[in-house]
Amino acid sequence: MKLKDFKIKTSRQLGLPLTPKAIRFMERRPYPPGEHGAMKRRFTKQSDYKRQLLEKQRLRAQYNIQERQMRNYVRKAVRKKGNTADNLIQMLETRLDAVVFRAGIARTIFAARQYVSHSHILLNGKWVNIPSHQVTQNEVVSVKKESRKLPCFIEAQEEMVSPPPAYLTRDKNNLSAKLLYLPKREEVTVSGEITLVIEYYSR
């Protein structure tokens, strides 16, 4: 199975479009894949465990992270002072690849991860190729000058019409963004019930 087809299938399974192509596909088929996909969505009643599992999978998919990483993030969020849901979202949103995505430098979280891994992204002017690297307040994420001529970044610059989230400020001309502060859960456009994810890992 091609990677694009896999992402579409995953999107349909989770009921969550993960790529622009998945959005278009799910407009035509807004139900899980398989012969009885539409019937499953309509008639299957979910247990508490199933709902927790689904929300966990949805959150993982939106940040493109592995199971072990998500478990570690939840453990850290629980140990930190303050609201656990806010703590979890803040750690996920300040991953380098997430900031690249939210700033509009990448069209998808998958592309953002690739850009970071392929050394196109700078943090405070220094090369960082670790997608999970935590961006801190007032740090600046930017596209390497040599990379700005690539079609993917030219296209991203042209598509920067909508403003970034309130916790980011963006310089369209230089393809850069600064993290102003750590966001609260309600400020982040991520789908899912974070409390169910926390409950899943608290079992």
Whole-structure pTM value: 0.81
- Domain count across the chain: 2
Q: 47, 72, 91 — which closes off a domain?
A: 91
Residue-wise pLDDT tens digits, 93-110: 999 999 999 999 999 999
- The Cα 100–Cα 70 span in angstroms is 19
- Average pLDDT over the chain reads 86
Residue-wise pLDDT tens digits, 10-57: 655 566 555 555 555 455 555 555 554 554 554 467 788 999 999 999
Residue-wise pLDDT tens digits, 54-92: 999 999 999 999 999 999 999 999 999 999 999 999 999
Other C-beta atoms closer than 10 Å to the C-beta of 122 total: 17
Q: How far is CA 58 from the centre of its chain?
A: 10
Q: 41, 57, 91 — which closes off a domain?
A: 91
Those residues with Cβ within 8 angstroms of residue 44's Cβ, 6 or more apart along the chain or in another chain = none
Q: 91, 115, 134 — which closes off a domain?
A: 91
